[in-house]
């Protein structure tokens, strides 16, 4: 099981992802430079968090036109598993691999805090190790995490089970108070229609061991590993 | 050939930065302000000799692919 982690100028969670999948999960991880035209021999691709190109123009906009993004798009087209975390989510949206866009937080403040999330779809290669409607904890750290899609598109996401995570309170209820950034329908993570590309603002790699405050994020990487293992059989 | 491009948020898309600016204007005593929307402005130099039609075609593509995210933004440009 080999994870390829894409490194853009300004990525800063790449090493954290490497640690999570290699040291904690026991998988293998390698780097993919943003100028590469192929993702190489990897089983899954991670677009890590950070501030690629200093968030110039719009978060993720410049990175989305990097050579490596064509390679990531064809990897996804072939059914490859791709996860974008935080800035990675912004890049996937800008590249058109996921619907919607991440706007500045409605508070206009950078929010760095623990969040409570509801896993709303466990039938994806990223979430198969969670329980149905499980309430989990993962931290966020972003200034532009306000997920926006026009209302009609948001309803379609719901119908097609593309909403994977929502910000909720401790009881698992979707409330305005539990929404840290103003995202439409408290959406924290979405996948494409096919289910092999996921983007989320919370950081699973920062919640992969108990001392971090939560180890709930590890099961995302573990799910990916398991999903790929069962594909091979 | 110089081109001026404006990119603005579509109506209905929340503009928290515009709202913060509006609030500050109020704090500074400008009581007349009822709304502020923030946008982006670009000056682009195109090579000479390009026909207006060619330039327009390229500019539409540039705006749709990079200058604007058409999910949330609209654009306009003026060729000088």
pLDDT per position as a tens digit, B7-65: 999 998 989 899 999 999 999 999 999 999 999 999 999 999 999 999 999 999 999 99
**Cα(A127)–Cα(A219) distance, integer angstroms:** 7
Distance CA A135, CA B7 (A): 40
Domains of chain B, each with CATH number or no CATH: 2-79 (3.30.1280.10)
Nearest to B72 among A57, A101, A105 (CB): A101
Which residue among B19, B66, B71 places its CB closest to the CB of A61? B66
Region label for B68, one of left (φ > 0), alpha (ψ between -120 and 50) or beta (otherwise): beta
Residues A193, A79 contacting (CB under 8 angstroms): no
- Tell me whether A56 touches chain B (CB under 8 Å): no
CATH number at residue A164: 3.40.50.880
What's the average model confidence in pLDDT over A35-50? Answer: 97
The reply to whether A142 belongs to the active site is no
Question: A114 lies in which domain range?
Answer: 2-232
Average pLDDT over residues A165-175: 97
- Helix, strand and coil in chain B, % to nearest 5: 35, 30, 40
Interface touch A101/B16, C-beta < 8 Å = no
Question: Are A178 and A116 a contacting pair, CB within 8 Å?
Answer: yes
Three-class DSSP category at B61: helix
Q: Which of A17, A86, A93, A208 is catalytic?
A: A86
List, for residues A200-219, the tens digit of each pLDDT value. Answer: 999 999 999 999 999 999 99
Contacts of A156 in chain B (CB under 8 A): none
Where does the pLDDT of residue A187 fall: very low under 50, low under 70, confident under 90, or very high at 90 and above? very high
A232 pLDDT above the threshold of 70: no
Which phi and psi (to 5°) does residue B78 adopt? -130, 125
When CB atoms are compared, the residue of A58, A61, A108 closest to B16 is A108
Counted domains in chain A: 1
What is the nearest CA distance from A26 to chain B, expressed in angstroms? 39
Residue A75, pLDDT above cutoff 90: yes
Instruction: Kindly tell me if the per-residue pLDDT of A1 is higher than 90.
Output: no
Q: Do B16 and A94 touch (CB under 8 A)?
A: no
- The minimal CB distance from A104 to the residues B17, B65, B66 is found for B17
Burial (Cβ within 10 Å: 0-12, 13-18, ≥19) of residue B49: exposed
**Using the beta-carbon criterion (under 8 Å), do B16 and A149 form an inter-chain contact?**
no
Nearest CA among A15, A89, A4 for reference residue A39: A4
- A92-126 pLDDT, tens digit each: 999 999 999 999 999 999 999 999 999 999 999 99
Q: Which of A17, A94, A205, A208 is catalytic?
A: A205
Annotated active-site residue A203? The verdict is: yes
Mean pLDDT of chain A: 96
Q: Which residues of chain A are within 8 Å of residue B13 when distances are taken between CB atoms?
A: 103, 148
CA–CA distance, A169 with A179 (Å, rounded to integer): 9
CA of A100, closest CA in chain B: separation in Å?
A: 7
* Distances, alpha carbon A157 to alpha carbons A18, A67, A138, B1, B20, in Å: 31, 29, 22, 43, 31
Q: What is the ipTM of this complex?
A: 0.86
User: What band does A231 get if pLDDT is binned at 50, 70 and 90?
Assistant: confident
pLDDT value of residue A191 = 98
Q: Say what the pLDDT of residue A233 is.
A: 54
């Amino acid at each position: 099981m080999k994870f390829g982690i894409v490194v853009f100028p300004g990525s800063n969670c790449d090493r954290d992802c490497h640690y999570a999948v290699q040291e904690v999960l026991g998988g293998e991880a390698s780097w993919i430079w943003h100028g590469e035209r192929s993702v190489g021999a990897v089983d899954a691709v991670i677009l890590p968090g950070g501030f690629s190109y200093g968030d110039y123009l719009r978060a993720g906009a410049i990175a989305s036109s990097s050579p490596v993004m064509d390679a990531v798009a064809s990897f996804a087209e072939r059914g490859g598993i791709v996860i974008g975390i935080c800035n990675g989510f912004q890049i996937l949206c800008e590249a058109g691999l996921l619907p919607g866009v991440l706007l500045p937080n409605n508070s206009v403040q950078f929010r760095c805090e623990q969040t409570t999330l509801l896993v709303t779809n466990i039938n994806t290669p990223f979430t198969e190790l969670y329980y149905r409607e499980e309430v989990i904890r993962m931290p966020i750290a972003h200034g532009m995490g306000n997920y926006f899609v026009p209302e009609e598109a948001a309803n379609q996401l719901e119908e097609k089970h593309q909403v994977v995570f929502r910000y909720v309170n401790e009881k698992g209820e979707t409330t305005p108070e539990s929404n840290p950034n103003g995202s439409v329908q408290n959406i924290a993570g979405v996948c494409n229609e096919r289910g092999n590309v996921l983007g989320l603002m919370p950081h699973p790699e920062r919640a992969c061991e108990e001392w971090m405050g939560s180890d709930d994020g590890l099961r995302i990487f573990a799910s990916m590993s398991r999903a790929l293992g069962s594909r091979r059989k | 050939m110089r081109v001026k491009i404006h990119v603005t948020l579509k109506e209905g898309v929340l503009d928290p930065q515009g709202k913060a600016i509006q609030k500050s204007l109020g704090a500074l005593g400008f009581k007349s302000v009822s709304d502020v929307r923030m946008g982006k402005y670009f000056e682009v130099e195109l090579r000479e000799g390009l026909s207006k039609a060619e330039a327009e075609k390229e500019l539409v593509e540039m705006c749709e692919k990079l200058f604007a995210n058409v999910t949330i933004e609209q654009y306009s440009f003026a060729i000088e």
